[in-house]
Amino acid sequence: MVDNASFYVTTPIYYVNDRPHIGHAYTSLACDIIARFKRLDGHDVFFLTGTDEHGQKIAQSAAQNGVDPQTFTDHVSKTFRDLASALDFSHDDFIRTTEQRHKSVCQLLWKELEARGHIYLDTYSGWYCVSDEAYYDENELIKQPDGSFQTALGKSVEWLEEENYFFRLSAFETKLLDLYERQPDFVMPKSRLNEVRSFVSSGLKDIAISRTTFDWGVPVPGNERHVMYVWLDALTNYVSALGVPNSENPHYAKFWPASLHVVGKDILRFHAVYWPAFLLGADWPLPERVFAHGWWTNEGQKISKSLGNAIDPLELVQTYGLDQTRYFMMREVPFGNDGDFSRSAMETRMNSDLANAYGNLAQRVLSMIFKNCNGLLPDMSPLNETDTALLNQINNLLPSVRVQINNQEFHKSLEEIWRGISAANSYVDDQAPWALKKNDPDRMAVVLAVLHEVVRKITLLLQPFMPSTTGKLLDSLSVDQAHRDFSYWEHKVLSGTVIEKPQGLFPRYEAR
């Protein structure tokens, strides 16, 4: 049983046939925010990301680029590591499916499934989409005027006839439906659970889990003429990153089963149907939740290679700033829904939410303490009802945001934090400390001390979303590095502490 203090969160491992885009950044950012929040909240976190480097599509892409598959994957995998660095992701491990540690656990899973009678040899005849590395029934495809077929997303399929090993997926239909009934938050959001349940209820067919027409993959143990189906290979990364799956491996014992797999909605079936079926077949514990998020469009248009309108997250960081980009992606769209990216919306968020609301609040408070209190934090006493009401509102943010992060409701947590920021700005206007300086300097000091405490707690909560900016602001607030996790939520900065002259946090974005 996993220790309650441990938390294991994963991105999907990204397929290295192309450069990373905003969808990859979005998924990893969500996991990064959860991992950072859980660390601040006292959990021992393991955050995994990586790259999926086997399969027919990779072999073809490498050939098109005139290099061998390993050279090709080495190059493209690095672009994903570079993205993780550029967006300040705090992952604990980056796994590649070409690593031996991964291949060994894949082969162990195969042997477990084979030993339990869940694998057999047969011939597959049917449609295969190389782009998705997925098998399709004809009733899932759309017939074109020329007689060819395409997936619902317009991807080409080819007719495949090949000797394969098969996994008895059909034997797990009832067990999967029982799982969804027993654990209704196994798949989130709920609309995705309904989609998965409907697919399984319509009847499951056994699936081919090996290939023989190419050799770029993990060899099947005992028959190396076959390589493992890329999805059986890829899904196993969530276990292989922890090492050998047994109780004698402390890393595995501590973190498996995974607390949360975060994926895009296009690969939900693999994670919510195939993956639990493989684990059930091997008698390995199941993850606690699979969360499938939606897709981004770009200025109202579907993102596609043909349109050339992919959104480069690195360009967003260069144009708008790292924390501004991180904030916008998590604030603009409810996580789980599809959403539209627009530069005007991003610029509005930067100016309204960050520069005018949060940044201006912090700047005003710290500037007034520096200027009017000789740069020393005043004592927060005596408090009146107005002070207490604001402090209580802010104090209640932590338990509320904790629930929202646990439910992957990032937009709700940010909405609630910004209601706190709005309340604090209203408090500044109502209390008018600049006027109190003249006629009641003792009251001014209390108001500024209250505001310092409010900004401190808001900034602690925003660390997972905007780690760089909040780090600088906590420095300005004179919050010790050792006092920045949530165990110090009530640990007020002592009166008399030196407050340095603040620096601007979020410049207004002026459209060029």
What is the overall mean pLDDT for the chain? Answer: 94
d(CA 24, CA 29) in angstroms, rounded, equals 8
Of 62-66, 383-387, 399-403, where does mean pLDDT reach its minimum? 62-66
Q: Which residues face 15 on adjacent strands?
A: 52
d(CA 49, CA 410) in angstroms, rounded, equals 20
d(CA 65, CA 19) in angstroms, rounded, equals 14
Residue 4 has pLDDT above 80, yes or no: no
352: phi then psi, degrees, rounded to nearest 5? -75, -55
Residue 512 has pLDDT above 60, yes or no: no
Q: Count other C-beta atoms under 10 Å from residue 88's C-beta.
A: 16
- Going by the DSSP 8-state scheme, the letter that residue 166 receives in this structure is E
221-224: long-range pairs with CB below 8 Å, 24+: 221/107, 221/110, 221/111, 223/165
What is the band of 18 on the pLDDT scale with cuts at 50, 70, 90?
confident
**Mean pLDDT of the 225-252 span:** 96
What is the percent of the chain with per-residue pLDDT over 90, rounded to a whole number? 81
Residue found by looking up tokens 């060994």 in the block = 104
Read off the pLDDT of residues 192-223 as tens digits, 9 standing for 90 and up: 999 999 999 999 999 999 999 999 999 999 99
Residue 389 has pLDDT above 50, yes or no: yes
Q: Residue 162 has what pLDDT?
A: 87
Q: Residue 187 has what pLDDT?
A: 98
**Using an 8 Å Cβ cutoff, are 91 and 47 in contact?**
yes
| pTM (2 d.p.) | 0.94
Residue 179 has pLDDT above 90, yes or no: yes
Q: What are the domain boundaries of the chain?
A: 6-294, 344-488
For 46, 191, 331, 403, 464, the CA distances from 410, given in Å and listed in that order, are 20, 18, 7, 10, 11
d(CA 431, CA 428) in angstroms, rounded, equals 5
Q: Which residues face 211 on adjacent strands?
A: 227
d(CA 34, CA 24) in angstroms, rounded, equals 16
Residue 510 has pLDDT above 60, yes or no: yes
Residue found by looking up tokens 């005043």 in the block = 378
Which residue in 140, 112, 115, 137 sits closest to 127, CA to CA?
A: 137
d(CA 163, CA 103) in angstroms, rounded, equals 22
What is the band of 130 on the pLDDT scale with cuts at 50, 70, 90?
confident
Contacts of 194 (CB under 8 A, 6+ apart): none
Domain 6-294 has CATH 3.20.20.60: no
Which residue in 501, 474, 476 sits closest to 488, CA to CA?
A: 474
For domain 344-488, the CATH superfamily is: Isoleucyl-tRNA Synthetase; Domain 1 (1.10.730.10)
Q: Residue 306 has what pLDDT?
A: 64
Question: Which DSSP helix (H) or strand (E) runs through 419?
Answer: helix 410-431
Q: Residue 182 has what pLDDT?
A: 97
Residue 302 has pLDDT above 90, yes or no: no
Q: Residue 421 has what pLDDT?
A: 98
Q: Residue 132 has what pLDDT?
A: 79
Residue 5 has pLDDT above 80, yes or no: yes
- Domains 6-294 and 344-488 belong to one CATH topology: no
d(CA 39, CA 460) in angstroms, rounded, equals 12
Read off the pLDDT of residues 322-373 as tens digits, 9 standing for 90 and up: 999 999 999 988 998 998 889 999 999 999 999 999 999 999 999 999 999 9
Residue 433 has pLDDT above 80, yes or no: yes
What is the band of 31 on the pLDDT scale with cuts at 50, 70, 90?
very high
Residue scoring higher pLDDT (3 or 262):
262
Question: Which DSSP helix (H) or strand (E) runs through 150?
Answer: strand 149-150
Angle, helices 69-86 vs 56-64, to 10°: value is: 100
Q: Residue 140 has what pLDDT?
A: 87
Q: Which residues face 14 on adjacent strands?
A: 51
Read off the pLDDT of residues 48-66 as tens digits, 9 standing for 90 and up: 999 999 999 999 999 999 9
What is the band of 309 on the pLDDT scale with cuts at 50, 70, 90?
confident
Residue 478 has pLDDT above 50, yes or no: yes
Q: Residue 139 has what pLDDT?
A: 85
**Mean pLDDT of the 414-432 span:** 98
In the structure encoding, which two tokens stand for residue 484, read together?
């920045």
**Using an 8 Å Cβ cutoff, are 167 and 267 in contact?**
no
In the structure encoding, which two tokens stand for residue 450, read together?
């209250």
Q: Residue 1 has what pLDDT?
A: 39
